[in-house]
Structure formats: C-alpha cells, structure tokens
Structure 1
C-alpha cells in the first residue's frame, strides 16, 4: 500500500499530481491474476467524457480477493461474518473458510442454472447472510448482481427487471420489520407479471418464521421457482473466473428526481483497489479487526462496507437485522458493539439522532461496554453539530462525519484516520480524500475563491478508482446527469464551501438552497440553528412557495423523548434563534412540530415530498419510504398548523 509520506496533505497532493504511481502502489493491496499494464488509461477526450479507465489490462476476481486469498494465507478460521438478528434472536458466525464454501457452492448453483459472465442477477433479500453469499457468488463467476432493497414495491422491482434484464432473481420468503412481516414472494410474482419476461429462474431462501416457499409458485409458466437449500446442496463448487478490471461487478439503482432510477455500474478492478485502500487509510481498519456498517445491503453503504471492503481487508464484518431503537430499545447498537467488540461503527446520522431522541442521557449506553470502539463514522446525510457533540460526549471516541455518494462508492471527503487523524470541526466532512480534486464552482462553472462562500461542489475529472463506470444502458444519461453541467467536472449535485483550513462543509443538495426575496439561503445552515434548541431532536428546513417572496423557509421539527414544552412557545423560540444566528433576512416564521419526519428506509429525509405536501402539489408516495403513515400525519399537521409566528 502507500508508504511515506504519511501526512494527509502530502498524500493527497501526490494522488492529484501523480495518480498513475499513487494508484499503481495502491493496487499492490489486491491479488491480480494478470497485473494491469497501467494504472490510469486516459486521453484528454476520455477524461472529458468520463470514460477514462483504471488498471487496464489487469485481470482479477473480487470474490477471490474477498475470500480465497485470506484462506490461502492461513486465516481461514478467522471470523469473516457475524449475523445478528434482533428480530429473531438468531446469531451466526461464519469463518472465512465457511463463507468461502457457501459462496463457491451457491456460485455453482447459479452456474448450473445457466448464469455466466455478464449475465445479470437480481438479489432481493433481507439482511441475512445469504445476501452476502449471493453477491459474492455472482462476483465469483462474473455475473453482474443488482441488489434491490428487500420489500421494495412490485412496480419498482419490475422497473429494475426491465432495465437490467436479469435471467435469475434470488429472493427469500420475506423480511422482518418491527411489528410486521413483509412477504417477498407475492411481490416478486407480481413484478414478474408486470415485467417483460427476462427472468427464467427464481431461487428462494425459505425463512421458518415467514410463510411462503418456492413450491407455492411452481407450476406452468416460463419462470421456474427453485429452493435455495436444495440448489446449494446439489451444486458443485465454482472456482473464481478471471475478469478484466473494467468488467462490471454490479448495477445499483439510485433514484433520480425525474424518470426511472439510474443503474449505477461499478467495475471490478477500480472498486477492489479503492475499497481495500479506504479500509486502512480512512477507517484505520486492518485484517482481524471487527467492522460494522449498520446499513442495508440494498444501499451503497451495504455494498461497499458490509460486504466488499471489510472482506477485501480481511476484517470481520457484522450484518445486523434490526433497528437502532425499538429492537428492543435504544441500547440495540451498543449491545452489538459490546457483544462483538466492534472497533469501527459506520451508520447514518439519523440513527444516532433516533437514539439521542429516545435516550438523551445515555441511560441505555451505560449498560454496555463500548470501549472497543476506536471511531464512529457517519454518512448518508448532513451531520448537525448538536448530534456530533452528543455522540462525541457519550462514546469518547472520534466521531467522523464523511461524505460520499452512491455514484462514487466510497468517501469523497473524510477524516483519514489511517493516514493522519486531523482535528475535527463540527458540521464539516473534514478534507478531500486522496484521489478527489474537489472545487467549488458558481452557476457558470467559475471557481468560487472566497473562503466560506457556498457554491456547487464539483470533482475534477477523472474520478478516482471505485467511482461509477457509467449508467447501465445509457451513455447519454450518464453524461447529462453528471458531466454536462460543468465540462471537465463531475457535478455532485451538492452545495458547500471550504473554510480557511481547507475543510469542506457540505450544506445540502443544490436544490435545497432556497431563494427568499433574492437572498440565497442554505437550508443546512438554518437546520444547524434549529438543532441548537435543547428540546429539538431533529429537523428539516426547506423552501416552500410564497406568493410575495417566491420562497420562504419552513421548519419541521421533532422533539426529544419526554419533552413537554408548549408548542407555541417552542415555535417562537425557534424563530428567535434563527433571527439571532442568521438574521432577519431569513424571514423565518413557519414551524411545524411532528412526531416523526418522513424518511427513506436508509434514513434520508424526504424533503421533496414534504415540500409537495406543504405546497399542495400532486405527489406519489416514494417507494423508498420507511412508513407511509407518516405522510398522513404530516398532511394533518400542515393543515392544522398554527398561524405563522411573527418574529
């Protein structure tokens, strides 16, 4: 891996000035069947088009790098995966040798069902070990997996089937959520009736606690339904196939603001090199360490940091079926950390805010020993300073806010603990990660030189290894979505600024910047102010329609558990806080107090949907929503809202 210099600034500068030598050295952390002839295969034209490629000429297998090489190195008995289900009480540990055996067998089962290199396989599974097995089995034989969040609506699953054209779907009888069971098989069956008919085979992993099996859907028809256990038992283990660096590893769909979701394509070589490098240099995690990304395999965090990165690094990864609260209480995360001696925990700020709301005094935390934690990493949405301080005070370990996207696959900005632990600044994602040349641009693509002034966050091309190859089946969509706004740059769609020390502050999506009577205001800065109030657990600020000013800022807040403050008093105090910290220019006077904010299953606040409801616009219930009933409560609260507070 990268040797001296080990200071962050020198390491980052080298990655920008000499990407060829920098990433060639990083590639030594991966086992290649055929070494790459070059690290960066690029021309000015390919860089501008976003088609520069990493590690051309190299051949490898991601499954081999995640499993076989560790077994061959004598670490087959080390725990590779810990499965902990708070829903069923099931706890299972698999060694690297055991996980390799299961992956090789299921890869053989896929191969026996006609799956080979380049074929697509949709994985529609809950948070169970078979999700990891299925992903690595696809990687082993060169199939391209597309994981769809378990329980997604049949219509959304059908859209992904029609775009990816898979020959096989791997699924389960269902998933478990607090208070309910989600049966998957009827959803898969309906999706097949809605789609164009590419699927030949459905392989079903039965769960004892959930009704439904492959036998229930077998019979006449073009699609054959098979039992996972029978297929795995009968299969001959498959050896890893040699794949070109640029061969696709997976497709992961990300929702756009309009139209169908975009299928983000990830390669094998760049992905493996970047993730292996990130584990030691960003997270300071090494072989034998216990790493837990409390996410879902259906999201990019699950792909990168539940499955691939920890196993590429030879670490132990935790797959958890449960929630931060309610399974059974706000001590759920701390129990897992205590029980498995987790060293690095990676989750979303919304999970920590949920725990803080229910247990602001750390009463549940006191029941567990979390001294094994060396760091808490947070990403997925903006980390407000109040939540940062709360977690930092309670856990007594570095709290790292870092920023990345589905498209990049790993961190764009972070505190690189494995290179140099930098001082933290609440509200900042710290500094650009080596490989990322970040610039702040104005609306015309000109650099914003003023320190602290918000602009469009853009990344100078080429993107580093591990970033998207493109959009599945649409070069035009790739260019229009990411490259056309600022030629020569990848447009992140986020706004923010650098401070005088080069720290990056990501303030929100560019469409979250609101214009109040000609004054541009960041919703992120307004949210920071609202969370200063001791009664507020979390909040969202967005711009809603105003006949006079064009837009006005409206705040939506939830309260900490047990908080009994009078709502009118709270609204007045919040308005005064904004006036004090931002000024009268914000013209902030709308406050709605809610039991819960509408969120996706990955914890992101559904700002667009909130805005549509407030403005009385037509809307559809997002397929990613965690609980649709929250929207009913929001509509009632908006219609019953008290008159605006006069600052």
Structure 2
C-alpha cells in the first residue's frame, strides 16, 4: 500500500500538524469503493491547529481582515482576538447542548461572524454545513432536511451593490422563514446576526429565534468561554458542503479532519507560496469550497493573514476593487475565478484602474473554478507586476485542494514553469490519468484525448464520502471507472506532463462522428478582440448530428455581427479545421452563470435540445437565462413544440 503514495512527503506534512494522538500510519484500509483512509487512528482538533497553537507567538499578528466595499467597512482581527470570539461563540453553541457529531447550518453573508462560526464548530467537533447566503428557500430547505441541523446561524440580511437580500428580516419576505415552512426538519434554535445600519430582523423568541450579540454577551458575562478543544478522529467529519446533484437532490460532500488539515497546511505553502505572516486574498464566497480551503482553514493553519471580502469584482464601486485590496493589504497571493477576471477586463479593458494601485507585493495570481482560456491569462499577466505570475489550477469541491497547478512554493522560476492553456502539472498526492473512451484503458502516449480520472487513493484532503449517502458516493464517482475517481471532465496530458482540461464529458460535441471539445472552440472564439466571453454548446443538426453554437458576449463598442461571424468562422477553420463546422453564433448581453462564476452551459444546451429548462438553484441572475432563451427563439434555434420556458420566481 505504501507504494501507492509518497510516504516521506505525507509523513513530513503530517508532522507539521499538532496531534493529540499521532496516527498509526499514513494510509490505511477502509471498506467501500474508495478503500483507503488517511492518517488512521489519529486524533486532533482543527480549530486548535488554526488558532490556539499560534497565539503564544502570533497573538498580535493580523489573522482576519474584513473588507466590505458594500458597507465601506474595514476591520482587522488578530489571532488572539479571533480566538476570543471563537471561544465565546463555541460557548453559545455548547450552552444549547450541541456537541461533537451534531450539525449546525451556517447561512450567512461575508462577515467575520461567519468565520468565527466555522471555527467554533470545529472547536467542539460539530459538523458545519454552509449554505451560500441568499440561496432560494426551496434549495435551502433541501439542505436543512439533508443535514438536519440543531441550530441555524444566519443574519438579518446580505448586502449587495444594488440590493439587500432578506435572509431574515420581515416574516413575509424572509428567505429563511420560507425555507423553514418548506422543510420537514424542525430547527429548534435560530441565531440571527443583526447587520449594523440595516433594518433589524423581526424575532420570534417563542419559535427559537435568538439575537447573536445578546447570546455572545450572555456567555461573556458568565465567563462561559469554551476554552478546551474537543479531540476528534482523523476520519471524523469537519464539514458537509452540498453540491448540486443531477437528480435535483444536493450531494453532501464530507470533509474529514485529519487529511484536510494536513493537505491544506502543506498546499498553502507548497502550491500557493503562503507562509507564516504572509497575506492571501481569496475572492470566493464562504459558501464554496475555495473559501473553506483558502480563505479560512488553509491560511490559519499556517499562521498567515487572510482577507474576507464582501462585495463584487465590479460595481462595488468599480472594476479596480480587487487591485485596491492587493495594494492596501500587501497581498502576496490572490485566488479568484476566471469569470471575475473577465468581468473586470470587460469593464476596464486597458487596466487603467489597476494602474492606480501598487501591486508590487503580489507574486502569484491563481485562477480556478472553470477553464482559464489563454486570452484571460494573457490579459492578467500583462496587468500585474513583472514579478507576479498568473497560474491556472484544477480541482473540485470533492477534491478539496488543487490536483494540478504550477506550484509557486517550490518552483525556482515560476513564470518559466507555466504553460498557458493547461491547468499545470500534477500536484504531489494526486495521480491523474486519461482513460480512452468507454474503457478502463489508460492512454500511454501524450496528447490523447479522453476521460480525466484520478487513480486511487485520492489525495488526503479529498472527500471520504457523501453525507448519509453511501450509494450515491459509489454510483456518482466510482461505478463508471472502478479503481478511479471520475472527475466528469475530459482532456489530455501533453508530452511535458501538463494537464489540459478541455470540457465536461457532457460538453463533447459529436460532429459527424468526430468528437470535439467545446473548450477548444471557445479558446479560438475568445481570442478575437471583440469577444469578451463565450460559451459553445452542441446544436442539433439533421445531417451531422450536432454542430457548434457560439454564445458570445462582446467587448465595449458596436460591431457588425455578420462580419464578426465571418472572422470567427475563418479563425475556427484556420486553427481547428473545417471539421469543426462552426457557422452559427448569437450575441447576448451576459452569459448565465452560477454564483461561483461557472457558465451554465447545460441550461443553454437544454434549450437548443428542446428539453424542459429547469432554473438552476445556483444561478446568479435568472433574467440572463431568460434573455438568452428569447434570443435563441427569435433565431429559430429552439425546436418548435419544445416545452415553454417559465421564468422562476426565486
């Protein structure tokens, strides 16, 4: 078994974690489709490793910087101050009899109190489940029923540049109250953080509502801070994070304490080049895995300073807000999604706003969450300081940390090690292979397109299961390719070992028997200077089966669309060949995206396939999808007799 992993690497990494009981080995057996467990029989506490062990030497160092552009508020908490807040909040949870193994649901905006809740749960061995703030009641109710929390922590509202989201304000318009009516599970306690300067939530104390500040004061006045850290096993769950399931039932990705702590402390240094005392800015909502890993746990495990940002990449107040954060707080590494960069580039194509700020502290700008096309990478690289490198990386909620990247913490010449268009090389701990179509045969030659899979065992931070769903864990990830984890992505590994993620396996276009990746065509389209963003979906064709349909968002300025299409057709034929059969495109105001920035290609594909379109629960702006439907319908690109599209009221 030890031959399957780098024993010395993970032994050294695990030695940097403070264990109450050392693991008996690095890798051990377990039943199931993924028959491996990391650091068996070890006992630790993740909150202790994030806070308590640092306070004696880093007590006065900034731990958490909260910067809210929507409320124009900045606040800095030292390690000692964060520990104090966490001990008090843990005391609140403990006072309600909530203990190790119980669950708490966190439905919060990007505020420090949410971070304190993560760590307070970890301190007690409570499993936290974070739901993106502002999620529709129906989807929130599904997650309440799935994890059955004994307490919900929420806020009166979330604040965005152009609206206030009523998490729990007036009873008739409260997202939480609506979800409670839909869910079958009764939550006895709901603690509400009242946003300063905003309308206060109406409280129903008889039904279990409690005021956050009053609860904190109650524990402080009695000196009931929870100063101990509850030991938990390596395999014990730290959190459950729900992802959208294909059946409409959310899948609860479980993260275990031991492997998570080891791999995050190791990767924040090895991959992201963040060490004790450095500052990292991860532009991701706490409802997503990126923020769990690299806004909260990763930086604190190593003793760094992390920035919690409340606002948007544009419009709060402008497209220079990310660069202001880098300058104001001497950020060393930044992590965001390609879609955020594209939005910034569309608003500020010449990067004039970035030039207002000193970006010399920034050494790495990491992009992940969807495929990073070379044009976006090039735009970023031209914008940042000459000592900074733009780096793509690849992972997922299930995997918990990058499995491909250019590792900034160990590369002597990071810029030279990057290959644009790829997601980097394999990160130690993961074994990525390409399987030939409809087989378990691994490709042996470079540049062979196929299914991207990870050979077991998975890296230490990957999920050991789905919450109370053993069958779903097996069927969703391991049945198709036994002995491998199915990423659901397709791509290739080139002759230099760079991994190229080209598309989701359901985004392959079969054109007259030739399989082409949508990502390859998108890369060609977006290289045109007038195309700011794009996505490509398969359009049914009676003769060829499918042909590519381009959905284009243009840069600022008017354009002659027929001329643009001719240029794009020429570029596709030149770079890919006539076999691509690209001849059709539509221009839209915006692409439909999830709140984490992923383009909803499947929804557009359902439209042109004539299928019923279900409004995705994670959509950022439902009007965008509705607009695209009408544009496609006006161009006769939706089959006659297809089910109507009904705009959902979330």
User: What's the TM-score once normalised by structure 2's chain length?
Assistant: 0.94
Does 439-448 or 149-158 show the bigger shift?
439-448
CA offsets per residue over residues 499-528 of structure 1, 9 Å max, x none?
A: 111110011111111111111000010011
Task: Answer yes or no: is 1:133 the counterpart of 2:124.
Answer: no
CA offsets per residue over residues 363-416 of structure 1, 9 Å max, x none?
A: 111111111101000000000001111111111311100000000000010101
Q: Does structure 1 retain, via aligned residues, the 8 Å contact 2:203–2:210?
A: no
2:314 equivalent in structure 1:
325
Separation in 1 of the partners of 2:452 and 2:375?
24
What is the deviation of 1:18?
4.4
SS of structure 2 residue aligned to 1:197: coil
Does 401-410 or 443-452 show the bigger shift?
443-452
1:285 equivalent in structure 2:
274
SS of structure 1 residue aligned to 2:593: coil
Q: Does structure 2 retain, via aligned residues, the 8 Å contact 1:120–1:168?
A: yes
Separation in 2 of the partners of 1:63 and 1:643?
53
CA offsets per residue over residues 76-98 of structure 1, 9 Å max, x none?
A: 00000000011010100000000
CA offsets per residue over residues 230-265 of structure 1, 9 Å max, x none?
A: 111212111211111111000000112223010000
1:479 equivalent in structure 2:
474
What is the deviation of 1:345?
0.4
What is the deviation of 1:450?
3.0
Q: Give the direction of change, closer, same or farther, for the CA distance of 1:42–1:548 in structure 2 (3 Å limit).
A: same
Task: Answer yes or no: is 1:569 the counterpart of 2:563.
Answer: yes
SS of structure 1 residue aligned to 2:259: helix
Task: Answer yes or no: is 1:619 the counterpart of 2:610.
Answer: no
2:198 equivalent in structure 1:
210
1:42 equivalent in structure 2:
29
Counterparts of residues 259-298 of structure 1 (less than 5 Å)? 259-298=248-287
Separation in 1 of the partners of 2:5 and 2:351?
47
Counterparts of residues 509-588 of structure 1 (less than 5 Å)? 509-561=504-556, 563-588=557-582
Indicate which of 364, 369, 374 corresponds to 1:380: 369
Indicate which of 382, 392, 395 corresponds to 1:393: 382
1:177 equivalent in structure 2:
160
Q: Give the direction of change, closer, same or farther, for the CA distance of 1:359–1:111 in structure 2 (3 Å limit).
A: same
Does 121-130 or 21-30 show the bigger shift?
21-30
Does 20-29 or 247-256 show the bigger shift?
20-29
SS of structure 2 residue aligned to 1:403: coil
1:94 equivalent in structure 2:
77
SS of structure 2 residue aligned to 1:292: strand
SS of structure 1 residue aligned to 2:362: coil
Separation in 1 of the partners of 2:248 and 2:629?
25
Gaps of 5+ in 1: 1-13
Separation in 1 of the partners of 2:14 and 2:266?
8
Q: Does structure 2 retain, via aligned residues, the 8 Å contact 1:183–1:211?
A: no
What is the deviation of 1:15?
9.4
CA offsets per residue over residues 432-479 of structure 1, 9 Å max, x none?
A: 110001110012111122321210011111112110010110111101
1:8 equivalent in structure 2:
none
Task: Answer yes or no: is 1:192 the counterpart of 2:185.
Answer: no
User: What's the TM-score once normalised by structure 1's chain length?
Assistant: 0.94
Separation in 2 of the partners of 1:614 and 1:330?
34
Indicate which of 413, 419, 443 corresponds to 2:410: 419
Q: Does structure 2 retain, via aligned residues, the 8 Å contact 1:15–1:22?
A: no
Separation in 2 of the partners of 1:567 and 1:114?
64
Task: Answer yes or no: is 1:230 the counterpart of 2:176.
Answer: no
1:69 equivalent in structure 2:
53
What is the deviation of 1:564?
1.6
CA offsets per residue over residues 131-180 of structure 1, 9 Å max, x none?
A: 10111110000000000000001110110111111110000001012211
1:9 equivalent in structure 2:
none
Separation in 2 of the partners of 1:403 and 1:15?
26
Separation in 2 of the partners of 1:522 and 1:404?
19
2:139 equivalent in structure 1:
156
Q: Give the direction of change, closer, same or farther, for the CA distance of 1:138–1:359 in structure 2 (3 Å limit).
A: same
SS of structure 2 residue aligned to 1:604: coil
Separation in 2 of the partners of 1:187 and 1:495?
38
Q: Does structure 2 retain, via aligned residues, the 8 Å contact 1:15–1:435?
A: no
Question: How many residue pairs are counted as aligned between the two chains?
Answer: 622
Separation in 1 of the partners of 2:157 and 2:617?
17
Indicate which of 44, 53, 70 corresponds to 2:37: 53
Separation in 2 of the partners of 1:521 and 1:258?
27
Q: Does structure 1 retain, via aligned residues, the 8 Å contact 2:156–2:195?
A: yes
Task: Answer yes or no: is 1:402 the counterpart of 2:386.
Answer: no
What is the deviation of 1:36?
1.0
Separation in 1 of the partners of 2:6 and 2:151?
39
What is the deviation of 1:643?
9.4
Q: What is the root-mean-square deviation in Å for CA atoms of aligned residues?
A: 1.6
2:294 equivalent in structure 1:
305
Separation in 2 of the partners of 1:415 and 1:15?
26
Indicate which of 60, 68, 80 corresponds to 2:63: 80
Separation in 2 of the partners of 1:152 and 1:114?
28
Separation in 2 of the partners of 1:109 and 1:550?
60
SS of structure 2 residue aligned to 1:404: coil
Separation in 2 of the partners of 1:188 and 1:413?
38
2:629 equivalent in structure 1:
635
